Structure 1
Amino acid sequence: MTRSSNLIDLDSHPTARLRAELDHRTKVTPAMLHSIDKQGRLISVSDAWLAKLGYSREEVIGRPSSEFLTPESRMYAIREVLPAFFLSGRIDNVEYQMVCKDGRVIDILLSAVLDKSLPEMEAVSLAVITDVTAFKAAEQQLILSEARYRELVESQSELVSLANPEGVLRFVNHAYARHYGLQPHEMEGRNLFDFIPEDSRAAVAEHLRIVCSVSHSVENENQVVLSDGQVRWMAWTNRALFDAQGQVTTIHSVGRDISDRVAAERRLQESEARYRLLADHSTDMVFQLDGDLVRRYVSPSCRDILGYEPEDLIGAQPMAMAHPEDAPIVTLAFQSMLEGRADRRSIINRIRHRDGHWIWVEAQLKALKDPKTSTISGIIGTLRDVSARKAIEDQLQEANRRLQALAEQDALTGLANRRYFDEALLRAHAHALSERTNLALLMIDVDRFKSFNDRYGHPSGDECLKRIGGAIKDTIRRAGDVAARYGGEEFAVLLPGADGSEAASVAELIRLAVLHLGIEHEASPNGIATISVGVTGLTGDSSCGPEALVRKADRALYRAKERGRNTVVIAHD
């Protein structure tokens, strides 16, 4: 763990000085610190500790530090961490989860030393805490994304990479590495600016700054230096990926070598003969249109791409082969160039192959100007089949859609998660107010679940929650109803349009469904797992806010617990 410069050196300070230093710096250190006595009670906490967890100093001093850990972290500390701590006198970077005052759970790293040199206190522990919640979430998301990403991109010929905002390469596919004459592992960890000529680095840095400031793809062309010293032109499509806080985590790049195209454009400016020689041998289909968008030249590559002979295409307009849905976009691109609103355009659209099927093509277009008058005389372009690349892009979009669905789902029960439920509640509440319709809310809690976990263990507890979640999901079947795991052993159900009697009926059906599961629970008077349900609702003439609606359902749930559990209680104003 990296120590802040104004923190205490845990190894070199004598105990008395350590304690005095801690008391003195508690209110000024930016770090999360706490000190506990031999009974594990908090005797000192820093302002940063209080700010992170949302407590005042009066609320925490004298309380056991374990009260601020999740049950899992508390058990881990008791069983594994503390025995080793009291033997060695220190621990470093132990992973825990702490619970904030508002119920949020944060991931932390904790390091501590034990000092037994104060006779009057017997032992004092000083801990330094680092919040790593955002890091762990981003790390897990990146692991999942990279696994899916690798499957989709490793077999394609396009150059694909992932880099951090500073340009450090985190991933390159084999095509990328081959292009530079290296292996992927030889490039990952290096900065992409290492492969860019020095006089081009400022322009590339500015381009990446723009990429990180927008939410769409941005194209760029620049030179790169290969491992043998060769300089090549590349065309890149770059897009920034953001985390939940809107911070850029990764720059996604797809590139291809356009050195041949750049060289062709330069030679075209020098000599029509040299241009035709290059075009006739290009793997891309090269074409030239006059001011009326009639083809005047088509390279032999049209045989491989479209299945036609050059003479079949010369004299006709390209719009005749465009897909009806894409024709307006293609027409607009051509017109913008003929009218002088754009010198270059890149368009992707569908064209009918000679055998009748549609292929996706990418056209790079450039306006042709009279060298004397600068008037636009036509368009020259290259065409390539990108059907395979388009299919991979579609697969990537579908993978991202599935990933978004997973982000809204509770991993254990398969129900909606808390985040999705909160958003659904806001939407349903706004709709109920605007349309003056009913909205019912059920808050459900598994009775004596802590005793269940203590008796049968957490794996059995997880299985219990999964089965109860399944029973809830199977009971609500209307379109628009939402069942979610609200947190821990608590569930929530939204019933848009349901009145009080309908909501009470659904709640009773859920309670009976859980009973019928017959999950063994020795600590329950019934001998099996049961639930308590609090029911409330919003009528067409009510103005109760969503937070108040949750509080009412929670109070009804509390009354259900007071009445002996395994029951349904309806909230009344």
Structure 2
Amino acid sequence: MLHSINKEGRLISVSDAWLSKLGYAREEVIGRRSSEFLTPESREYAITDVLPVFFRTGRIDDVEYQMVCKDGRVIDVLLSAVLDDNSPGGGVSLAVITDVTALKTAERQLTLSEARYRELVESQSELVSLASPEGELRFVNHAYARRYGWLPHEMVGRSLFDFVPEEGRAAVAEHLKQVCSVDRSVENENQVVLPNGQTRWMAWTNRALTDAEGRVTAIHSVGRDIDERVAVERRLQESEARYRLLADNSTDMILLVGRDGKRTYSSPACVALLGYEPEEMLQIRTKDAIHPDDIGFLADRQAYIDDEATTFRYRMRHKDGSYVWVESVSRAIAAEPGQSPQRLVVVRDIEQRLAAEQRLKESEARYRLLADHGTDMVFQLDLDLVRRYVSPACREILGYAPEELTGIKPLSMVHPEDAVGVTLAFQSLLSGHVDRHSIINRFRHHDGHWIWVEAQLKTLKDPQTGQPSGIIGTLRDISARKAIEDQLQDANRRLQALAEQDGLTGLANRRSFDNALSREYGRARRDKKCLGLLMIDVDWFKSFNDRYGHPAGDECLKRIGAAIKNTVCRPGDVVARYGGEEFAVLLPDTDEIGTASIAERIRQAVFRLAIEHEASPKHVATISVGAISLAEGGPAEPEALLRNADQALYRAKDNGRNTVVRGSHLAPHGPPG
């Protein structure tokens, strides 16, 4: 979308795309201030922050605004603009506007999803972290940071080994390697060092997170303080009475279970967890208290004599008949002589944690669906490049039903000019040269017109042989983006033209002339050709401005510039306003005689304009011209040619003005003093 505004900020032109997007007719907007179409917030931002930079630098790039459509809809846009002080009337601004509403909407949805995820994590009392496989912390929740007396952002970037006693670091490092090697949660317990130097035991549930290629990108950890539990276990060996005191006050349900599954002790926490009194829990065998689908976890009798701690997740039957998800840590305890081995089982309610984990998984799934697919068409090709699957998004993008596209080759719908490039992309994927490829091409829509699409392609490989078995890809319609890109290219071409044109006369400006002189000078010396140069100055022009005013002076310069342009007719000739009342003419392949002849015709053409000039001896506006031509053996630099032309011009003024002086006539007299 394009629009132009004058120095008062009022619209003087808008593109059809601008009108279509905002829903206005051209007569409804021309003459109105461009700021009227911004939201109040964007309008204030433009006035206070953007416009001062724009008027200081003459341009702005990719400024984020919100514009209000006629029907009240608000769209997100990026605006780039350039200030043209040389335009008639001065201060005209040309702006290019890109609609980024869809992108901003997606960003806001992603931000909301992430915020929900963080809210879930931060609501937990357990310690939650994300760390690199090497142990560098990338995220910690507030509970984690509070545990160590830091703020969350102060811990990010630090190594988790900084908080582990030196003697325990090797074991933690080995555990992290184990976590990265398996596709499941792994439990771990280790000591941590608090800011006051105290060490505490923590229990961690760790799981490796992997990318699409299966590479471990991070380790997700959920931890809780088990220092008291460890202390309880240690004191159990010293005194059962002390153990019972601690166990009875624990919020976790603590059980002593014999080898035959019969309980010999249950802590009072069983009431809150399962609704049973401790005496009732002693009458229930383990296999009768666990969900039938989960009993297999405890079926291995070896687990009851293993000295290592074993962690399980399973469902236990509540007194009301429902089942509660729990996590238990079971450890063998030393038996007195003559007694059967027992295990100490600490059971914790994890219903809320599992619910939170499920909500996190659902949030992540929604996020991935939005980030990876959105409204893109997903398709799969076999080795013969025949479609075997097409997602329903094809209806919106191509106008076809999935079944209409399945079983045919996509090349039949590719624009003939793009077919070779698409074929080469497919071949490079199936040959194994690349695993991924991105292409942009035109596709025929169901109604017959062509649309621009962008496809992201990936090779499918046979899991057994590793050889390519097909291609999977996503395709999206980028016609709108291509149209915007074309508009931007057109705007850039017009801006380039303005940069090389004099705003008053429409002739080439000095920058453009200097570039042409350098180019033609080099060509003339290389090909041993002539190159004519005229330097022209309007006589008594200061007096003209003083007498008739600057507007009349501008009109005088425009008429003289037009007369020069009309006299110099060849396509390769360059006419420029060199500065102020000075003009310059470049005449390729023209010797000094021809150059002087053209100069004389220009002088006469200007004289015939009969522009009134009372301060001139001729009573009309006249010009003085220095005419020179590069010949073989001439100066080696274009600047020298310009100096010689200037000297000829000065001689013309010294000779009374309204005359032409050739460069070759300077030699007997030398340069003017």
Q: TM-score, normalised by structure 1?
A: 0.54
1:406 match: secondary structure = helix
1:336-360 residue CA offsets vs partner (Å, 9 max, x unmatched): 3223343332221012234433221
**In structure 2, what is the Cα distance between the partners aligned to 1:377 and 1:496?**
64
C-alpha displacement of 1:525: 0.6
Report 1:365-404 matches (<5 A): 365-404=457-496
1:146-180 residue CA offsets vs partner (Å, 9 max, x unmatched): 89xx99xxx998874779xxxxxxx9857265556
Letter in 1 for 2:482: K
Partner of 1:570: 662
1:521 match: secondary structure = coil
Aligned CA distance change for structure 1 residues 349 and 173 (closer, same or farther; 3 Å): closer
Tell me if structure 1 keeps the 8 A contact 2:534–2:626.
yes
Tell me if structure 2 keeps the 8 A contact 1:300–1:310.
yes
Aligned CA distance change for structure 1 residues 159 and 345 (closer, same or farther; 3 Å): farther
2:469 match: secondary structure = strand
Question: Which has the higher Rg, Structure 1 or Structure 2?
Answer: 2
Of the candidates 650, 657, 662, which is equivalent to residue 558 of structure 1? 650
C-alpha displacement of 1:566: 0.6
Letter in 2 for 1:140: G
Partner of 2:511: 419
C-alpha displacement of 1:463: 2.1
Unpaired segments of 5 or more residues in structure 1?
1-134, 164-170, 183-196, 202-230, 234-256, 265-281
Aligned CA distance change for structure 1 residues 553 and 411 (closer, same or farther; 3 Å): same
Letter in 2 for 1:387: S
Q: Is residue 301 from structure 1 mapped to residue 219 from structure 2 by the alignment? A: no
Of the candidates 608, 613, 634, which is equivalent to residue 516 of structure 1? 608
Partner of 1:476: 568
Aligned CA distance change for structure 1 residues 136 and 302 (closer, same or farther; 3 Å): closer
C-alpha displacement of 1:400: 0.4
Of the candidates 137, 142, 152, which is equivalent to residue 60 of structure 2? 142
C-alpha displacement of 1:473: 1.5
**What percent identity do the matched residue pairs reach?**
61
Of the candidates 442, 449, 452, which is equivalent to residue 350 of structure 1? 442
1:414 match: secondary structure = coil
Q: Is residue 321 from structure 1 mapped to residue 430 from structure 2 by the alignment? A: no
2:653 match: secondary structure = helix
**In structure 1, what is the Cα distance between the partners aligned to 2:465 and 2:662?**
83
C-alpha displacement of 1:449: 1.4
C-alpha displacement of 1:458: 2.3
Tell me if structure 1 keeps the 8 A contact 2:386–2:408.
yes
Tell me if structure 2 keeps the 8 A contact 1:417–1:485.
yes
**In structure 2, what is the Cα distance between the partners aligned to 1:558 and 1:543?**
19
**In structure 1, what is the Cα distance between the partners aligned to 2:503 and 2:433?**
52
Tell me if structure 2 keeps the 8 A contact 1:367–1:378.
yes
Aligned CA distance change for structure 1 residues 293 and 500 (closer, same or farther; 3 Å): same
**In structure 2, what is the Cα distance between the partners aligned to 1:478 and 1:530?**
24
**Number of equivalences:** 344
C-alpha displacement of 1:543: 5.2
**In structure 2, what is the Cα distance between the partners aligned to 1:259 and 1:159?**
25
C-alpha displacement of 1:544: 4.3
Partner of 2:10: none
Tell me if structure 1 keeps the 8 A contact 2:59–2:80.
no
C-alpha displacement of 1:137: 9.2
Aligned CA distance change for structure 1 residues 482 and 306 (closer, same or farther; 3 Å): same
Aligned CA distance change for structure 1 residues 446 and 344 (closer, same or farther; 3 Å): same
Report 1:55-66 matches (<5 A): none
Aligned CA distance change for structure 1 residues 320 and 172 (closer, same or farther; 3 Å): closer
2:59 match: secondary structure = helix
C-alpha displacement of 1:298: 1.6
**In structure 2, what is the Cα distance between the partners aligned to 1:199 and 1:341?**
35
Tell me if structure 1 keeps the 8 A contact 2:75–2:99.
no
Aligned CA distance change for structure 1 residues 172 and 502 (closer, same or farther; 3 Å): closer
**In structure 1, what is the Cα distance between the partners aligned to 2:630 and 2:433?**
56
Give the root-mean-square deviation of aligned CA atoms. Answer: 3.8
1:461-493 residue CA offsets vs partner (Å, 9 max, x unmatched): 222222211221222121111011111111100
C-alpha displacement of 1:258: 9.2
Unpaired segments of 5 or more residues in structure 2?
1-52, 82-96, 110-129, 131-136, 140-152, 154-361, 668-673
**In structure 2, what is the Cα distance between the partners aligned to 1:156 and 1:515?**
60
Partner of 1:363: 455
2:454 match: secondary structure = strand
Letter in 1 for 2:573: D
Tell me if structure 2 keeps the 8 A contact 1:408–1:417.
yes
Tell me if structure 2 keeps the 8 A contact 1:436–1:541.
no
**In structure 1, what is the Cα distance between the partners aligned to 2:57 and 2:610?**
40
Partner of 1:439: 531
**In structure 2, what is the Cα distance between the partners aligned to 1:137 and 1:548?**
38
Partner of 1:67: none
Partner of 1:428: 520
Q: Is residue 290 from structure 1 mapped to residue 382 from structure 2 by the alignment? A: yes
Q: Is residue 260 from structure 1 mapped to residue 344 from structure 2 by the alignment? A: no
Tell me if structure 2 keeps the 8 A contact 1:160–1:173.
yes
1:306-362 residue CA offsets vs partner (Å, 9 max, x unmatched): 333433332322222222221222122222322334333222101223443322111
1:432-474 residue CA offsets vs partner (Å, 9 max, x unmatched): 1122222100000011112222222222222222221122122
Report 1:218-233 matches (<5 A): none
Aligned CA distance change for structure 1 residues 568 and 434 (closer, same or farther; 3 Å): same
2:639 match: secondary structure = helix
Tell me if structure 1 keeps the 8 A contact 2:54–2:60.
no
Q: TM-score, normalised by structure 2?
A: 0.46
546-555 vs 502-511, which moves further: 502-511
**In structure 2, what is the Cα distance between the partners aligned to 1:413 and 1:522?**
24
Q: Is residue 495 from structure 1 mapped to residue 413 from structure 2 by the alignment? A: no
Tell me if structure 2 keeps the 8 A contact 1:284–1:383.
yes
